[in-house]
A and B are shown apart, each in its own frame.
Chain A
């Protein structure tokens, strides 16, 4: 994997169960972040919407990670998929989550570079 490869953004958009956003953010920080960084992921942003902890309504947490290109993406996957603790984390976190979505994205300016592998 090249350090010059365009950044690939791995985005977790998580709708917390009502009143559970603080607990979810704490669990994510304590149980997920360090292991993800060990897999080569760089945490670019941690966002809360709306920007206050709601008590009886649902917050959305948005975590924006990046890895170095397709090589970084596969390296992250190959390490994570061998780790049962990662599946345990998401299974246990489901108690705090209403719904979630993971998106794999890039800067629009990098689309041509990322898709330009020769055939």
Chain B
């Protein structure tokens, strides 16, 4: 099954009432999670929509949306508990086209091992992008569920497995650097049901 994430950016010309109508129109389409992004998102858009690619393929984007960073992606691996509420976080990243396959494979393995060390991650999935949209040719989507925003901003960001180990793939100063510094880090509340 393919999944899809869209980080939607409001047009600066759109007013509050127009945005509310646009959200209502998007919500009427169903198709999965739809929430405003929370403060602290970085290049994360104003609205986050996430569902199966099949469900989102028939939907439209209101004119109030000026741009989208998004991806249709195929799961490499996933785990944990995606049921219930909390916080959804998606990271769109772009691995350099010249990165060696062995390095990419190791990056993927080490990323997927994060929940073993960082228990605040309740559910997780790493996906390879089939179709990218927006400011970069996104190659991976790394998504997680947390019980609350503190789990993301505290244990996830402050755990040494993250900053002293996995981050080297993102670090232009590291010999192992393979990920473009332009990232989309976006998170929002989960409104109810299990995220498929």
A positions within 8 Å CB-CB of B: 8, 70-71, 73-74, 77, 80-82, 86-87, 90, 99-102, 104-106, 111, 114-115, 117-119
Contact = CB atoms under 8 A, between A and B. Distances in A.
Interface in B150-173: 151, 154-155, 157-160, 163-165, 167-168, 171-173
B184 to A, nearest CB: 14
Is chain B's interface secondary structure helix, strand, loop, or mixed overall? loop
Contact of A70 (B119, B120, B160, B174): B160
A117 B153 CA distance: 11
A102 to B, nearest CB: 5
7 contacts: A70-B158, A70-B160, A102-B171, A111-B160, A117-B120, A117-B158, A117-B159
A99 B176 CA distance: 12
Contact of A86 (B157, B158, B160, B172): B172
Contacts, number: 56
B173 A90 contact: yes
Contacts of A101: 175
Given A81-B181, A119-B119, A104 B172 contact: no
Interface of B: 118-120, 151, 154-155, 157-160, 163-165, 167-168, 171-175, 181
Given A70-B163, A74-B163, A119-B119, A104 B157 contact: no
Closest 8 CB pairs of A and B: A104-B164, A117-B155, A119-B119, A70-B158, A119-B120, A81-B181, A117-B158, A102-B174
Contact of B175 (A73, A74, A100): A100
Contact of A90 (B164, B168, B172): B172
A116 to B, nearest CB: 10
Contacts of B151: 119
A104 B120 contact: no
Is chain A's interface secondary structure helix, strand, loop, or mixed overall? mixed
Given A74-B163, A117-B155, A117-B158, A99 B175 contact: yes
B171 A77 contact: yes
Contact of A80 (B160, B164, B172): B172
Contact of B172 (A81, A100, A105, A117): A81
A80 B119 CA distance: 29
